[in-house]
A and B are shown apart, each in its own frame.
Chain A
Amino acid sequence: MIDNISVFEGVLRKFGFTGPVPGEIRRHASTARNRILADILREKGNYNLLLRSSLRLFYFLRGIGIRITVIQSAAAVAAAFLITAAAVVSGSYAAVKIIINDNPPAVVSGVADKFPAERRIAELDMSVKRVADAGPGGRGGGEKAVSAGDSVLSTIQKSDAVIMPAEEFNKVDISSGHRQAGLEMAGDLKKEVMAGHKGYKVNKSETAGARPFSGDAVLPAADKAAVDLKLEKENQTREKEPPDGISARDGETAVPAGKSASAYSDDNVPSAPETGVESGEADKDEFVFFASAGLSLNIPAGMFNSLASAGPSLEASFGIKDLFIKNLNPYLKTGYYIFPLREDRSKYAGVVPVFLTAAYQYIFMDKYFICPEAVFGAAFYKIDSTELSGTGGAPAGGIGLAGGYMLAGGINLNIGLRYYLLILEKEKIGFLSFGAGVEKSF
């Protein structure tokens, strides 16, 4: 055949049908190509950012042997943009959430004004933070640095320290940093008082009825009553006893607030015990399963693209939510993928994979999620073209990114972009898969 080609080209040359273009001219043409297109579209069409980005992807894919339309390219660019935007938003949201959890703001609100105990607890939280910033025992640097002991007390006095037994303190839902600071502060406070420090004065009018540092609590009387009432209510609703908490130094601790304000609010009774155990953890022994079904369009890549063109697939998945790690949702996926052969479009290459996919779900804005995925498994394939033919099983793998929207009733709508690679004996065949599906948890 190659001889025939040479002869044929010789005939074309002889009869003057050829017009060779030198390599450097072709390179010049390539550099001018995008400029001319941009000029024409600017002058006559609509050369906006989306089209410009789509053309970049369009030319890139052409360069690696993947032929898609500009519209498909625009859809891919738009999807990539949305997924990126979703990732950035969810990442920012997660970061802000982490920062807020680590540095809870003082709750000084109408509710706090209404409930003096909560307000005091909230203010105390700030005091605890200042003490913590200043270092153990009230020493160290920082803007709010306190010096040699008495400042610890004065800071606490200003904010009406609430001292309570470790047992009660451990029931308060606060961040671990503040818990530690509270413990340290209580220890320092007790040491200072026991040493008869002059700077510490208990406001008798507010602490009437309380027993300062007698091993129980330092709390304004009215607030102590409110706290007791609250704890009593919680004990009534509590089904399990909390596990052992953090042991307090010298048997008593100061209570910082932040979250603790809510723990003492009549309007906001927590449903789970305030034990430091996250809500929902009690359900960890019960697995949540999910199943999904979907359709996808699969575009062969690389060498496989020269044999076959894009084809559809039906897919089904079954998995477990939150297995071992929260938000880790491994699932098994199978399906039937067909790719029409280019040399004869009545023939198809078929792939039936069994993939184990590890998907980690990031949830943002309550209803949306994205999942990076890693895929391992095997696939049964059948290809019958002149360049590559065979039937059998092959190891396979892939990566992907899925995203979606959570509806009510455990139903999710999802879309995904994945790349799969099958390692055959002689060749590797890969394809891009754009999929959409519905998932149901049960």
Chain B
Amino acid sequence: MKLLDKKSAQFSEIYSDYYNAVFGAVYTRVGNPADAEDITHEVFLRFFENMDLIENNRRWLFGTLRNVILEHYRTRKPDVNIDDVFQDLALTFVNGFRDIRIIIKDAIESDDNFKDEHDRIIFDLVAVQNCTYETAGKELGYTRNQVKYRYFQIVKNITAYLKQKGIASIEDLL
């Protein structure tokens, strides 16, 4: 019997890093904490099974999250319109700033604007889910100042990226 299973240890770390980001993302789509818990459980269960094959943890988790939510609605709530749950595309046209939104999305997705996966998680927690620096820090094992510093750097990078793409002042977008 192994004293400490390396895979379990590795999984625990990844789980601890991404759990809140995944849970928050699921909750914003299903709006029910109990369902969000079940879906998060299922996403990470699948992650454990496929861990050896996964190269980009974040991409895999958020991709699987989408699939699991679709399955959830198909089996439990067949009357719900899936497009309403994943409303990104709809928003593009509703706001009428299709191109700008695509540029911002590219900026958010670009690896160049994030130093590492932790930067992305900080961005997900602070910018997307409105988490405080302190809470994000506790979840990730950083201090409040560390999170704040990293977040400032991310915003700086994204702003610079938008400038490169012709958006000289982000204030103009408001």
Interchain CA distance A5-B48 in the complex, whole Å: 36
**A21/B142 contact (C-beta < 8 A), A7-B170, A8-B170, A40-B48 known:** no
Give 1 or 0 for each of A381-414: 1 = CB within 8 Å of chain B CB: 0000001000000000000000000000000000
Residues 100 to 120 of chain B near chain A (Cβ within 8 Å)? 100-101, 104-105, 108
Residues 29 to 87 of chain B near chain A (Cβ within 8 Å)? 29, 33, 36-37, 40-41, 44-45, 48-49, 87
Interchain CA distance A46-B108 in the complex, whole Å: 37
Interchain CA distance A44-B5 in the complex, whole Å: 11
User: Is A280 interfacial (CB-CB < 8 Å)?
Assistant: no
Collect the chain B residues with CB atoms within 8 Å of residue A25's CB: 27, 33, 36
User: Is B91 interfacial (CB-CB < 8 Å)?
Assistant: yes
User: Is A111 interfacial (CB-CB < 8 Å)?
Assistant: no
Give 1 or 0 for each of B126-138: 1 = CB within 8 Å of chain A CB: 0111110001011
Query: Of A31-39, A186-194, A199-207, which binds chain B?
Result: A31-39
Interface range for B: 35 or more
Collect the chain A residues with CB atoms within 8 Å of residue B174's CB: 7, 10-11, 14
Give 1 or 0 for each of A357-374: 1 = CB within 8 Å of chain B CB: 000000000000000000
A-side interface mostly = helix
Interchain CA distance A357-B90 in the complex, whole Å: 68
Collect the chain A residues with CB atoms within 8 Å of residue B12's CB: 37, 41, 51, 55, 58, 70
Are B137 and A65 in contact (CB-based, < 8 A)?
Answer: yes
Are A36 and B127 in contact (CB-based, < 8 A)?
Answer: no
Interface range for A: 35 or more
Interchain CA distance A11-B95 in the complex, whole Å: 12
Q: How far is the CB of A29 from chain B (nearest CB, A)?
A: 4
Q: How far is the CB of A36 from chain B (nearest CB, A)?
A: 5
Are B104 and A17 in contact (CB-based, < 8 A)?
Answer: yes
Contact of A28 among B2, B33, B138 (CB under 8 A): B33
Are B8 and A305 in contact (CB-based, < 8 A)?
Answer: no
Interchain CA distance A54-B4 in the complex, whole Å: 10
The chain A residue with its CB closest to the CB of B118 is A67
Are A11 and B173 in contact (CB-based, < 8 A)?
Answer: yes
Are A44 and B48 in contact (CB-based, < 8 A)?
Answer: yes
Interchain CA distance A67-B17 in the complex, whole Å: 11
Are A21 and B129 in contact (CB-based, < 8 A)?
Answer: yes
Are A302 and B131 in contact (CB-based, < 8 A)?
Answer: no
Are A67 and B141 in contact (CB-based, < 8 A)?
Answer: yes
Q: How far is the CB of B10 from chain A (nearest CB, A)?
A: 8
State the A residues within 8 Å of B (CB). Answer: 1, 4-5, 7-12, 14-21, 25-26, 28-30, 32-33, 36-37, 39-41, 43-48, 50-51, 54-55, 58-59, 61-63, 65-71, 74, 302-303, 305-306, 342-343, 387
- Can you name 19 A-B pairs with beta carbons within 8 Å? A10-B174, A11-B170, A16-B91, A17-B108, A25-B27, A26-B135, A29-B23, A29-B24, A32-B40, A37-B15, A40-B41, A45-B8, A46-B5, A50-B4, A51-B12, A58-B13, A58-B16, A63-B138, A67-B142
